[in-house]
Structures are given as structure tokens and as C-alpha cells.
Amino acid sequence: MRRWNVELDLRNLKTTMGMDILSCQTPQMNEKQLWVHLLAYNVIRLLMAQGAANAGVDPRNLSFKHTVQLWTQWGLRGLCTTEDRQRLFTLIAQRRVGHRPGRIRPRMRKRRPKPYPWLKVSRAHARQQVQKHGHAWETK
């Protein structure tokens, strides 16, 4: 069961929080992006834990995606008083997930690798090379 929870947590990090593709150019910025995602993930889990404690349920039974959506809307509306937080925790605890019989997810990769090489020079230089020599896949 622990392994399954770890896989779910990684899936939440990658897909629900948009970390499936890191968009930064340098390793240092990718590392920062990773840390920001982990921080946000921990904030969401903390909200789930507080909502679960108020409702007397296990935090693992609450919906991660639902909590992310509520937190996003909460921030956009500027709700931050103590009464607002209690209402947020109540709403978080309302959406439960549980055993879902008959759900089968095939383990396949959705994104296919592209057959093109990485662009490691400036676009202007790459254009000149293509004009001079043609595309690499055309010449082979």
C-alpha cells in the first residue's frame, strides 16, 4: 500500500501540479522549479491534513485535485480570515476518494519522443546550417 501511495504522490506532483515537463533552461533554474513544486505540494498536503483533522477522516481519503482547485480559487478571491479558512477546510473534507473497483489504467507513455535533435545553437545559426546543408534527417 505504501508503494501505491508513493506512486500516487509522484503522479500528483507531475500531472496535477504541472511538473511533468520542466520549462527552465538551466539546471539551477530547474532545481528551483522542482523545489517550488515540492513546497506547493507540501502546502496542499498540509491543507488536506487540516481539513481531515477537522472532519475526523484520514487525509489519504481526500481528493488532492479538489484541494488544489479550492486553494487556487481561494487565493484568487482573497479569502484569508479565520472563518474563511474553516470553511475551506470543510470544503476540502467534503470530496472523498476511495476504493474504485473496476478502474484499470494501462501503463503506457502518452508523450512520444520527437525524432528531431535538440537545438543547441542559436536559431539564426541553425537556419544557416539548414540552408547550407539541408535538414539532418534529409541528408542521412
What number of H helices and E strands is found in the chain? Answer: 6, 0
Question: Which residues in the chain show pLDDT less than 70?
Answer: 1, 99-100, 103-114, 136-140
Whose CA is closest to 48, among 81, 83, 89?
89
pLDDT of residue 18: 76
pTM for the complete prediction? 0.62
pLDDT of residue 54: 92
pLDDT of residue 46: 94
**Other C-beta atoms lying within 10 Å of the C-beta of residue 114:** 7
Cα-Cα end-to-end distance for the chain: 50
pLDDT of residue 140: 45
- DSSP three-state, residue 25: coil
Residue 92 in contact with residue 62, Cβ under 8 Å? yes
Residue ranges in 19-63 assigned as alpha helix (H): 27-55
Residue that has been written with the C-alpha cell 539541408 in this structure: 134
What would the pLDDT profile of 24-52 be if each residue is shown by its tens digit? Answer: 888 899 889 889 888 988 999 999 999 99
